[in-house]
Chains A and B, each alone.
Chain A
């Protein structure tokens, strides 16, 4: 009987020790994994906050989402007339052109060089005709119902490229006001050259003669003889 009880006690203690150790190990294991799990969560939260801060900074500094660009309004200021002068410009032809100007630049950075690109779409108007203030007293002669008119050479009066006539189509990288102005000025020069190549002065001569003939005929003259300075007869 004693032996039986002794064996019983020994078995009880052995079982108690084994189970206790296992429970202890599992508790320690669970605590460790819970700690690392929590650390991971904190890490993710930290990274998310960091990313959010980065996005907020990029938005404020570089406006990556393009918010509020169209809401900017100018303040009311006065329009000042500096000078007024009398002119006598008879505009008889207009030339329109739409063109695009591209500028490229390479910005060297610490990590890599970035290609910057600017494309501006420009549509301009060239106005040409006769400066009638150059007409001398002998340049209009009336004989009966015939008018003899000698016009000066046709000339270009204006090449118009206003801010509403150009559009920034592509702006990669940072482009200053002067660089955009330089691109628009280049387009303006090109439009003027194209107008001359496309015979805007010839159109001005033809159209001007036709309109003045119509005008003088409405004043009761039958024959209108118009000669343009430097024009081949």
Chain B
């Protein structure tokens, strides 16, 4: 009888917890902010990366779990002129020469479109739990972090420097300067 009562209480509590529902109010959508900036993006790279994880069997885990995503995204790099003293110029009016010193190029935006992140493969043994959305998101975050760490190897910053030099040279030439020198601060 006691066991039966215990089971009944357990079932009732499970039922109560599973029935609890939360309401999301419209007032939540209030955290918005406009901000000004000044960034000149001079290069855009289209990138792709495979994100995979193996959760193999061990002494306390029976069976494997494997997951594989394919991600695509874009990276934009250039110079950030937002700060007041981010650039300096020295003008020689006699020779119509200008030396412009710009901040070191940097990655301005990494955009991993969620719709371009595809789950390619997922395998879970019968004795293991399925990948939860929290786990999948965590793996994608690790992938994003890995992309950020590997950006230096892509040569995007060198390309951004080259393109920014071309842009400012053309602009200053159009403004009438004859001798143009573009330098970059060290990052």
Contact = CB atoms under 8 A, between A and B. Distances in A.
Interface residues of B, number: 91
Interface in A193-216: 194, 198-200, 203, 206-208, 210-211, 215-216
A123 B115 CA distance: 16
Interface in A134-162: 140, 142, 147, 157-162
Interface in A90-112: 90-100, 102, 112
Contacts of B163: 86-87
Contact of A93 (B37, B87, B144): B37
A185 interface: yes
Contact of B43 (A75, A85, A175): A85
B119 A177 contact: yes
Contacts of A16: none
B81 A215 contact: yes
Given A89-B41, A102-B24, A142-B175, A77 B137 contact: no
A47 B3 contact: yes
Contacts of B18: 114-115, 172
Q: How large is the interface on A (under 10, 10 to 19, 20 to 34, 35 or more residues)?
A: 35 or more
Query: Which of B3, B35, B147 gathers the greatest number of chain A CB atoms within 10 Å?
Result: B35
A27 interface: no
B38 A207 contact: yes
20 contacts: A61-B126, A72-B138, A77-B51, A82-B48, A91-B38, A91-B108, A97-B31, A97-B32, A99-B28, A114-B18, A117-B22, A123-B31, A163-B112, A170-B22, A171-B132, A174-B130, A180-B136, A181-B114, A184-B114, A190-B29
Interface of A: 47, 59-63, 68-70, 72-100, 102, 112, 114-115, 117-119, 123, 127, 129, 132, 140, 142, 147, 157-164, 166-168, 170-172, 174-175, 177-178, 180-181, 184-185, 188, 190, 194, 198-200, 203, 206-208, 210-211, 215-216, 218-221
Given A69-B135, A164-B144, 11 more contacts: A73-B53, A74-B51, A79-B151, A80-B49, A83-B45, A84-B159, A93-B34, A95-B32, A96-B31, A203-B36, A219-B98
